[in-house]
Structure 1
Amino acid sequence: TAAIDTPDADEIMRQANAKGWRISDVWNTHWHPDHAGGNAALKAQVGARVTGPSEVERIGAAPDRVVEEGDIVKLGKLTARVIDVGGHTLGHVAYVFDEAKLAFVGDALFSMGCGRLFEGTPQQMWTSLQKISALPDDATLYCAHEYTQSNARFAVTVDKSNPALLERSAEVDRLRAANKPTVPMSLRLEKATNPFLRAPLLKEAIAMPSAQDWEAFAEIRRRKDAFKG
């Protein structure tokens, strides 16, 4: 069994033990402590083998296996390919299971949102989002945080005439009121409602009709960074 990122080693072990699973591997998406902070504890407790980008070394030991775009990782009968989705951080990767049509995208893409650009450039992040967008529309995406409700509140400020967004926002409110999760999410739905993926379609709405696609993305990201809703 692999843990995709390690925000809390104790909780991961509680969940694994309750299900009778043995954590043999850790696959990190990026180096932030809420994603790789439990690596050392899991290695100490169960001897987990850590796979991830080289930047993981910034908060502890280097990964047992360093991966980058184009690499293949395996767990039992499952195979995933690694894609570079840097922008939120440098050396941020996603794990794509093509046969199962699912991907673990870390903080590169959220439900109706995307990660802040702590280290990368808008151009870099836009390129990364295009890689995710190129996956099959029926792919299931596993992001790392439950930010959907706040993301939806921002999304309607830049895409308020989008009926799919308004419908989804209302559904998210219903789910969260019932304390139910909104992730994972489908890529098809993200393409229809995520303002960061829809940046080329929102140039008029953000008063940048002549902007390049990445410039429109950068403006939407700037507005989200300043959003207080």
Structure 2
Amino acid sequence: MERLVHGSEIIWYDPECFDDFERDYFEIDYWRERDAIRGKAVGRNTTWFVEDGAGHKVLRHYYRGGLIGRVMEDTFLHVAESKSRAMAEFTVLAKLYRRGLPVPRPCAARMMRSNLVYRADIILERIGNARDLVAILQEQPLKAAQWRNIGKMIRQFHQAGLYHADLNSHNVLLDDQGKGWLIDFDKCHFRQPGSWARENMDRLLRSFRKEVSLHPGFQWDEADWQILLDGYKAS
């Protein structure tokens, strides 16, 4: 991992992710001017999919949620560099990636300080030909073996001590080979074994139940959850 400091800007980056890293990679206008935007995901905020000479990447700016987000949309109170949102997520992802767990490779993280606050961005490798479970289940059901494999995958993360702060059905992906992936590690961290793993799973279950209420024809039911749990417990 390399570290760059330019005025109030601090950047961490993995040189193996890039042909030749540039600070402007964090600016969407850089990619727009080069006709290198390959798509976007629009939720509460926009995540950009871009392509450079080394491959496809994801560019995400950090925003606040909740009521405070209306006042401090994308600024955070100053903290130590390693505890900033981008650097903390970069660190978690790097540990998981080195362990061979199915996560996007972290490529670069940035914090930009301004008086008592900072803004942050992260660049990740994009997982190819993958969709989240919500998108898939609006079109087709999963097979029992797929549900079991998803349960096994999640158990791997819990065995590694990873607490996922937002474990939900949007953050579980399947690629075109049927491999499961986990994404969005903002505010995630490592913990000793405890009841948090069950709480994580309860959160995931609530997200499936929520999607059923939002999407008529959503192809999931409680029996699928039991199969997922069977895979989780068998790991």
Q: What TM-score, normalized by structure 2, do the two folds share?
A: 0.27
| Higher RCO (CA 8 Å, separation ≥ 6 residues) | 2
Q: What TM-score, normalized by structure 1, do the two folds share?
A: 0.28
More strand per residue: 2
